[in-house]
Structure 1
Amino acid sequence: MGTLHHVLHTGARPIGLPEFVDAVRATCPRRFTQKGTMRHRRVALAVSGGVDSMALAFLCSSLRKSTAAFEVSDNPVNGFRAMVIDHGLREGSYEEALAVCEALKDMSLSADVMPLNWSKIFDDNTNPRDLPNFESVARKLRYERLGHECAARKLASLFLAHHEDDQYETILMRLLQGHGSRGLRGMKKAHDIPECENIHGAHQSGWVDDQMSYRPFYKPLTRTRKHLHRALQANIHHLMDENDPVHESEIELEDFHTKLHTKSIEPNQIPIEDGGVMVYRPLLEFSKDRLIATCLENNVPWWEDSTNHDPTLTIRNAIRKLYKGYALPKALQKPAILALAKRCEQKHQAQDAEANRLLRQVIIHDFEPNAGTVIVQFPKFESVITKRDSQSPQRRQARLARQREIASIVMRKVLMLVSPEKQAPSVTALENHVWRLFPSIAEPGNAAQTDDPKTFSVYSVLLTPITPDSPHRKSVPASSSKPHMQQLSWHLSRAPYPAHLPIPRVRMTYWSMKGPVPTYTMSTRNEWMLWDGRYWFHAEHQLPHRIIVQPFLLEHSKPFRELLQRSARARLDARLKRYAPGKTRYTLPGLYLEEDVDLNRPMRQITPRGGYPNPIAWEYRDGIGDGRGADRGVGQAGERRDQSMHPKVPDTSKMKLIALPTLDIQIPGLSDWIDYEIRYRKVDRKTLRIAGTWSRGSFGPLTDDAVMRYIESGRARGGRGVDRLRKERTEGRLSRMRVCV
């Protein structure tokens, strides 16, 4: 289609470059607070060809030409890459996308056309426009395609062209859907890319790979590293000072003996992911009229999509026709709705600030990504009843409701450290459970149950109170002799899998096959796969069967132990007892062979059973082939492609457990067959930084040797020395040790 007939908007003025620069800086704050020497990086632009995205493309092009050293988030920008999404829902859409690319190239912007693959969801006979949820399906496919492209090109920032009018429509839609104040804030200016939870490098991942690369995008400054080195040397020299010696009597031989003998049970700490693609909306404060004026002023072409004017296609189109064609009440007009969104945002910020003050009193003890568990001691929520509250029951109920809301926000932050769910739970849903952790704000109907805390499950997280007879009690030292002086601690872990639902399972795409030489060649390395919403995993191997990641099952426990050597069995028992007691161990990821194979035999003698159900069986002829199998593929010269039956649900009775990767336990000789890597998904480091974090066994009274070990660890807050810490301990101002992560 051609460009829209230009209509002069006399009341709107074009967006100036200084305005756009200020908007970008306000929208794209630094993600990683530690400033370093950052490599130049490109920024992705999502372009549809409409007036809003073309105006964004023009402003980005002008910014690049006028300002060479400009930063977006953590990296200086060395260019922009436009991604033109073609939905393919109308005739001529692909040709139009090509024309958009040509217009972008005239602005000195690189551009690619990216058609959406509807066949992934529907067959060829289904018209996507007939779907009742067409808008949400199109959004999912669009973001998945953008996420894959950004991850492949190592782009960490994606600019979208949503503007003020889009924000107005979004809030109206949420009003109709009954959202609360948190939903009525509208679209965020910056957030993680949605709909890409299973794409490594796009959703909250990629940081570890970047730090392991030869030229990372994020690298601390040299002077920062030197400062840390000097601080460490100063601590060591202070400890070795003759004026403050460490006497032999201060060394606890029992602690030394315990550490010496428990060191071997410590598994290798698995990396925790971070990073990913961030979505930014720098035009959210500008109206559409100003974007049109910007394109008119600078002779920027744009294209109109006829589907945007069909009120029967999406709810947004219907709302757009409603407010443009009819006079709405003043309370539903754009100024009033946008003012409502700002008030909701201010309320949300105030609640978060109050929740962070409460979070500072939370003590996080032993966060273990290897097992996906954490021990948390929640503070006592002191319910202050003023004179006015005592005289007005309604006022007191309102205050308690607000306190329950703040406590629910804290509870949600802590739950997300171990929860496998993709989205955080709503605050309203948690208010029905928060009284279990904060008994002082319980409703009268629940007050009687607070004296006897029980294990409960919420949002796929199992919360177990740590009592004297609890299996987790050994991880927490004895509390005060006065129970009221210390709040109860809770052990948080992944909830057991429901029996009526299938267990989470990830099956590797590739397997190894024999080539011309009677040995197995290394399979293709799988892309990173997210298992149970908690662990990223990928592998390459020389095994004739596929690798499956699923929970550690009780039925495989005994055969797995029999395959281990004596020392490995001892380590397995010790690590399970310490990190995954009780039913928690059956939520750990296990590495399985799809069918049992004796790996102790020579490689050339290992052959899968006849008729092994490969979805695609490759038969080599004349010694030609790459020695790899896959679920999908194209046959090469010298290969014959045969289809065979393949069970959609593997038979667990035929599987063989070969490793518990998070506990660093595997059968002997497995490293000769497989090379795998596992990582924990991203956690909110701000939660760990704000909350108090205790090292193992630091709940007891603080002694001189404990102070010495604390300083030696280099974690003393604010650079406090030994003498100052001892003085504070003597004066009673330092009763517990809090170590911030």
Structure 2
Amino acid sequence: MALATLYAKAAAADKTLPACHAFIIDHRVRDESTEEAEWVKQQLRWKFEIPATIIPLTWPEQDPFNSLHRFETDARKLRYQALGRACREHEISELLVAHHADDQAETILMRLMKGRWRSGLQGMQAVETIPECYGIHGVYRSGSIRIHPGLPIPVVSGGIKIMRPLLPFRKERLIATCKELGVAWAEDKSNQDQTLTARNAIRHVMQKHQLPAALSVESLVDLGERMRGRVDFHKNHVEKLLRNSEVLCKLDIQTSSLNVRFPPSSMLLDRPIWSKKDVNDARNTAYILLDRLAGLVTPLEYTSASKLSGVVSAIYPELEIHNENSIHGPNSGGSLCAQGLWWQQSNEAIPSIFPRLPSGMRHPMDWLLSRQPLERHELGSSGLRLEYPPRSAAVPLVSAASDELEQWQLFDRWWFQIQNLTRDCTVVLRFFTTDELRTLMAKDKKLNPQTDPLRNIKNALKRVEPASLCRHLPALFLVSPEGKDQLVALPTLGAKTIFPEEAATPDWPCTWDVRYKAIDSGDMPLQELILPEFHQKPIRSREGVIEVKFSPKAKSGLDRKAVKAVRVKGSNEWVLDEMREKYVSWKQRVEMEKRAILKRAEDRFGRKEGLGKTVGGRDMPKSGDKSRGETSAVGTMDEGEAEGLAFLEMESKQDRWDGKRGRR
């Protein structure tokens, strides 16, 4: 009631504050809890004219009270998930909760008891992402998208934020405020049952026993504030490094991998590193930096900087503190796993996308971050996979608008919305197995590369560097009633199987939409952080589908418009028109026009065995050749003449192109 009272008072004084809607959780642990929830709802309506919704919790079938830890964990999870879905339904993005200073002290004391002595001692944050809602679209860091030109796929954003405006205030002060304003204090009576949860037991001890001054509410809250100040100092320095481009990083959201050039250890502090304290402070900044970058590609919900000790030592060995009690394992050799990621130092097998040193040597601070190999529980039929059953004739193809958000599912590091359009097959989203990937990429001499149904998928996989990233690409499979898997698509690469009947039948086994998980890019624009699309990309034009193959430079982000080839799908002829010129450099345009001129000359004068010289891979007729009845003088053309004509032709086309764009 204190939170509602203070917000109503503030809203009366400041008309710009948005209207609020109250949510009342009915845990249904006690028989009278539903009646108490109704009373609170009436008080909010009568005293403050605040609309309220009562949310009853549905407990699992097993007895939730047979374990104190399980009851506390389940209650927290059910409570936040119910609140998150209610906020999504009411289009609310900020949820205010009434945690106060006494709650903060209890949290810090519990973390002290559990040995969480690093950032855990900060306690509850004043603003944070709603907890316990991982994977719920529109609630957990999702619901909106960030679209920028050049991004291969959209990046999600949004979600529900938790705000705790009452953290600075003691409970006794909030009770006194309500009493002064004539508002009855309301509290869940189960909070006073010291045998129900561990938090209740700690609350009882703090209220009923005389504890040392260091464990008083004021001391514990002050400890949390000091720890937050220390962590904020290192976070601010990390953001400064990122903002000033002292850390080079390029994120590939198609493979969810991160190329990083870490700064030297001397830049981890704003002062020289001389003393042991300086080394400790620099190492703490390194923890925050690595944790910040790991969040861009990790498949984990929660990360802990304290678990990055081995990685910090591998990247910054000069910051490792040696003492009698330190335990040092074998050297990582520039490759180790932490935070759900595989950290690999750049080498010949893992080339860096950043320029080498002036001497030509590899930069020692270049690393690649990618998903670590799947663990045992993630493998097999019960592991990391999403299944979509066949569509029933009774089920509409398009679900109701209220269920649209629920159709989005989080798979590893991507959000997917998939619809199975078949009547008898199951669509499965999973990773490749090692054997499947080896078989797929093996050369089959019996298959014609031009007619292979998997040619687009194979070409896309060949462009993934290093090849180890292919193991953790989401793949769509069509599973027949007999249990046979057929590869359908690689959604994040935009590559799909070419079915023989595709041209005659517009139907497709499934539809999908894919988005990358929410990321914290800080002040860096997304288009600078994220690499552009690098795989073979179909482009629509009035002549049909044009295949554009980007060069490796395009993947590195050094030249986003670099192109290796442009041709009409299904044809070997080079194609150039005004629409496609923007994808090709001037030099490439002249070369393509030259080939087109040579091709026209060849088509006109024909070709005779043993005559002419090879120009651009073609045999051109000599002077005096009278094939096809044409005079020989007109058919005489060498490569230099073709290039000259091509240049003139391109000048003319460029004039027409510039005129249409209004640049002249």
Normalising by structure 1, we get a TM-score of: 0.63
Aligned partner letter, 1:368: D
Change (3 A) 1:132 1:655: same
Aligned to 1:493: 370
Matching residue within 105, 119, 126 for 1:168:
105
- For residues 574 and 93 of structure 1, the distance between their equivalents in structure 2, rounded to whole angstroms, comes to 62
Q: Mapping of 1:216-365 within 5 angstroms?
A: 269-359=152-242, 360=244, 362-365=246-249
- For residues 434 and 180 of structure 2, the distance between their equivalents in structure 1, rounded to whole angstroms, comes to 70
Aligned to 2:334: 454
Aligned to 2:544: none
Change (3 A) 1:275 1:96: same
- For residues 574 and 659 of structure 1, the distance between their equivalents in structure 2, rounded to whole angstroms, comes to 12
Change (3 A) 1:490 1:69: same
Deviations 1:309-347 (A, max 9, x none): 211112222222222222222222222222222211211
Is contact 1:371-1:580 (8 Å) kept? no
Aligned partner letter, 1:441: L
2:296 pairs with 1:413 = no
Shift of 1:178: 2.2
Shift of 1:579: 3.1
Shift of 1:204: 0.6
Matching residue within 255, 259, 271 for 1:371:
255
Aligned partner letter, 2:193: D
Aligned to 2:512: 676
Deviations 1:372-408 (A, max 9, x none): 01111112213999xx998xxxxx4443233222212
Matching residue within 24, 31, 53 for 1:84:
24
Aligned to 2:571: none
- For residues 413 and 64 of structure 2, the distance between their equivalents in structure 1, rounded to whole angstroms, comes to 36
Q: Percentage identity across aligned positions?
A: 28
Deviations 1:441-476 (A, max 9, x none): 2456999988x9432222221122222x21545x44
- For residues 296 and 448 of structure 1, the distance between their equivalents in structure 2, rounded to whole angstroms, comes to 61
- For residues 555 and 51 of structure 2, the distance between their equivalents in structure 1, rounded to whole angstroms, comes to 58
- For residues 318 and 471 of structure 1, the distance between their equivalents in structure 2, rounded to whole angstroms, comes to 53
Is contact 1:564-1:666 (8 Å) kept? no
Aligned to 2:75: 138
- For residues 657 and 570 of structure 1, the distance between their equivalents in structure 2, rounded to whole angstroms, comes to 12
- For residues 241 and 132 of structure 2, the distance between their equivalents in structure 1, rounded to whole angstroms, comes to 32
Is contact 2:251-2:530 (8 Å) kept? no
Shift of 1:584: 1.3
SS in 2 for 1:366: strand
Is contact 2:346-2:367 (8 Å) kept? yes
SS in 1 for 2:168: coil
Is contact 2:441-2:458 (8 Å) kept? no
Shift of 1:62: 3.1
Is contact 2:414-2:514 (8 Å) kept? yes
SS in 1 for 2:463: helix
Aligned to 1:464: 344
Matching residue within 496, 506, 522 for 2:397:
522
SS in 2 for 1:143: helix
SS in 1 for 2:369: strand
Change (3 A) 1:691 1:110: same
Deviations 1:270-328 (A, max 9, x none): 11111110000111112222221222222223434332221111222222222222222
Aligned to 1:547: 427
Aligned to 1:190: 127
Aligned to 2:572: none
Aligned to 2:471: 586
Is contact 1:361-1:691 (8 Å) kept? no
Change (3 A) 1:694 1:507: closer
Matching residue within 491, 498, 501 for 1:661:
491
Is contact 1:191-1:280 (8 Å) kept? yes
- For residues 170 and 139 of structure 1, the distance between their equivalents in structure 2, rounded to whole angstroms, comes to 14
Aligned partner letter, 1:377: R
Shift of 1:688: 4.6
SS in 2 for 1:132: helix
Change (3 A) 1:500 1:105: closer
Aligned to 1:240: none
Is contact 2:122-2:227 (8 Å) kept? yes
- For residues 446 and 301 of structure 1, the distance between their equivalents in structure 2, rounded to whole angstroms, comes to 57
Aligned partner letter, 1:326: H
Is contact 1:560-1:657 (8 Å) kept? no
Aligned partner letter, 2:371: R
Normalising by structure 2, we get a TM-score of: 0.69
- For residues 279 and 453 of structure 1, the distance between their equivalents in structure 2, rounded to whole angstroms, comes to 42
CA RMSD of the aligned region, Å? Answer: 4.0
- For residues 389 and 163 of structure 1, the distance between their equivalents in structure 2, rounded to whole angstroms, comes to 40
Change (3 A) 1:509 1:65: farther
- For residues 60 and 550 of structure 1, the distance between their equivalents in structure 2, rounded to whole angstroms, comes to 47
Change (3 A) 1:397 1:482: farther
Is contact 1:465-1:488 (8 Å) kept? yes
Aligned to 1:112: 53
Is contact 2:142-2:158 (8 Å) kept? yes
Aligned to 1:685: 521
Aligned to 1:13: none
Is contact 2:421-2:511 (8 Å) kept? no
Change (3 A) 1:463 1:563: farther
Is contact 2:268-2:282 (8 Å) kept? no
SS in 2 for 1:289: helix
Change (3 A) 1:699 1:574: closer
- For residues 543 and 267 of structure 1, the distance between their equivalents in structure 2, rounded to whole angstroms, comes to 33
- For residues 667 and 66 of structure 1, the distance between their equivalents in structure 2, rounded to whole angstroms, comes to 62
Matching residue within 117, 142, 161 for 1:180:
117
SS in 1 for 2:86: helix
Aligned to 1:57: 4
- For residues 471 and 184 of structure 1, the distance between their equivalents in structure 2, rounded to whole angstroms, comes to 39
SS in 2 for 1:274: strand
- For residues 307 and 177 of structure 1, the distance between their equivalents in structure 2, rounded to whole angstroms, comes to 24
The higher-RCO structure (CA 8 Å, 6+ apart) is 1
Change (3 A) 1:508 1:465: same
Range that drifts further, 579-588 or 137-146: 579-588
Aligned partner letter, 1:488: M
Is contact 2:241-2:247 (8 Å) kept? no
Deviations 1:658-692 (A, max 9, x none): 11100111123486343211111111111756998
Aligned partner letter, 2:155: I
Is contact 1:190-1:280 (8 Å) kept? yes
Change (3 A) 1:429 1:301: same
2:455 pairs with 1:575 = no
Aligned partner letter, 1:288: K
Is contact 1:362-1:692 (8 Å) kept? no
Change (3 A) 1:383 1:268: closer
Is contact 1:203-1:276 (8 Å) kept? yes
Change (3 A) 1:389 1:550: closer
Change (3 A) 1:694 1:673: closer
Change (3 A) 1:60 1:500: closer
SS in 1 for 2:476: strand
2:8 pairs with 1:68 = no
Shift of 1:571: 4.3
Is contact 1:129-1:313 (8 Å) kept? no
SS in 2 for 1:676: strand
- Runs of at least 4 residues off by over 6 Å: 444-450, 559-565
